[in-house]
Amino acid sequence: MKGAYLTAVGHERQLTRLSAAITEIDDESELAIVPYAAKIAGLVLSTRDDRGLVEFLHAYERYPDCADQVKLELGLLALGKALAATDADDAMSALLEARDHFSGAAEVRDSRYEAKSFALAIDLLTGFIKSRDLSSFQDTLAKLTEAAFAYDAYITQADPGPLLGHVAAQTSAFTTLSIRLAHLADSLTKRTWLHAAAVINDQLLFAYNASSMVFGPGDGGGVELLIRPRIEKSLVDNHLFMAAIREWLAAYAGGIDDDLVRDIRAFAERSADPTDAEAASPLASAILDRAADKVGFTELEDVLLFRMDRVRERTTRYIIEAIQTIETAFSELPDFQHAEYKAGFMDLAHGVLCFAEDRLNSSYEQNRQAGYLFQHMKANPIEKDLQQDFHSWSRSRGMAIDDEVKGKGGGRADLRYVYKSCEIVIEVKQETDDASFDALLAGYGSQTSQYQVTNARLGMLLVLDKTRPGEEPEHLEFIYSPMILTRGPSDYGILVVKIAALRPKPSEASR
């Protein structure tokens, strides 16, 4: 522990959390210190390799008084290896190892709901990769949903210590996973299993990063894995893509010419290489043009366009910190303390934040649907462009979003999110004068909250920001704000997210 403390010198955030963990320790038994030491070992291992700490964890793996925490840390360590693997077999082996550790932690202590959630998510993902046998999918999903909600309730009922800053993001990851898979569960055909597996992979990665980042430096630096490179560098994800291509070729290769089959194989192999994935993606359009009148074209288009879209997706520390910020801002709101309302809102919030990040990364050449955001493509975009863009983006990712919904709060809602009893309206606006958060809340907050007068007092305001024409967009960290609006006796939580329009091309900044 002294060694870990010295390692953290110079990093105020690390020192604060280490100090808190050490002061929590009691000495009721000889092994009481081990769970805390295991937690610290896991945090240190998330930023650097240390074989001594790994051996320490293995040494206490079989002691019942501390095995649950030790196995959890070993599971996170193995999961990190799987996500960073450079070989598909190594990735799968590490994934299965992580699953065994997480399952073991849950068996030792029933309240290890995060370990149970990790294990079940890995079961679903490996099931898709290895066999895609969906016979037990619904049962596993039901167990995952139960574990995810139990984790949130169990942790929030307690007084979370400084080392549990990742809990909000982790619970959001697992509840979002269960919500989105539930929407896909009734339509898991050969064309949609890839999307379901991608949802699992993304949220598993999100939950892992939330745990790893808790010990990361506060200045945004750190190990590349924690800042998160492209998901395409995960061989697990590449393995899924190759499995989909093989399945398509097995079904349709006999009905198309040999040259096209050969080129499809070559494209798949090239795009499975993390270093070539982005370069290979533009070639997908040429492949689709040649296959347009062939049997199985729709299925091939689904797989290849999915691949092109995935090249852009990332999970960064800023998304995780945004989830934590929202949790902190709304934690005292009565409706946010309602399990279904909170889970639904955080699923929607995560989706909107990922959409905002995706649009900051998108170029017109890469994604024509985002062309309305660029000044050289559209001189006067309107809020309807943003509304339609988010609607199609969210639906393609398994989110339950309806548009132009009549009869909400006495009016017509732009977009509506639904999860069980939770309904949240996404109000879409454009702003040309003042896009400060206070001004946006003052101008549009009341309309946003009015749509929620019969449901959760939680709302979403998505704004097309046209106040900075020709200027580079703001950093992701500064385009959202969770805000409280007081209307009469009620407080409404409204998440405001801005999407920059009238953007220049990055090359114009050089001029």
Kindly report which listed range (261-275, 332-346, 394-408, 449-463) carries the lowest average pLDDT score. 261-275
Is pLDDT at 9 greater than 70 in this prediction?
Answer: no
Q: Mean pLDDT in the chain? A: 80
The pLDDT assigned to 236 comes to 54
Output the six-digit token pair for 346: 């955080």
Task: Select from 318, 76, 322 the least CA-distant residue to 207.
Answer: 76
Q: Residue 317 has which token pair?
A: 């520390």
What is the structure's pLDDT at 162? 45
Mean pLDDT for 457-467 is: 97
Rounded Cα–Cα distance for residues 119 and 143 (Å): 11
pLDDT top residue among 390 and 316:
390
Q: CA 403 to CA 408: how far, in whole Å?
A: 12
Answer whether 212's CB lies under 8 Å from 46's CB: yes
pTM: 0.77
Confidence band for 366, pLDDT divided at 50, 70 and 90? low
- The pLDDT tens digits for 62-77 are 888 889 989 998 998 8
Neighbours of 277 (CB within 10 A): 22
The DSSP bridge pattern shows strands 422-431 and 401-408 to be unpaired
User: Is the torsion defined by CA of 188, 192, 195, 201 positive or negative?
Assistant: positive
Residue 134: both structure tokens together? 């969906």
pLDDT tens for each residue of 222-263: 223 333 333 334 545 566 677 777 777 888 888 888 888 888
Q: Which residue has the higher pLDDT, 418 or 191?
A: 418
Residues 395 and 402 sit within 8 Å (Cβ to Cβ): no
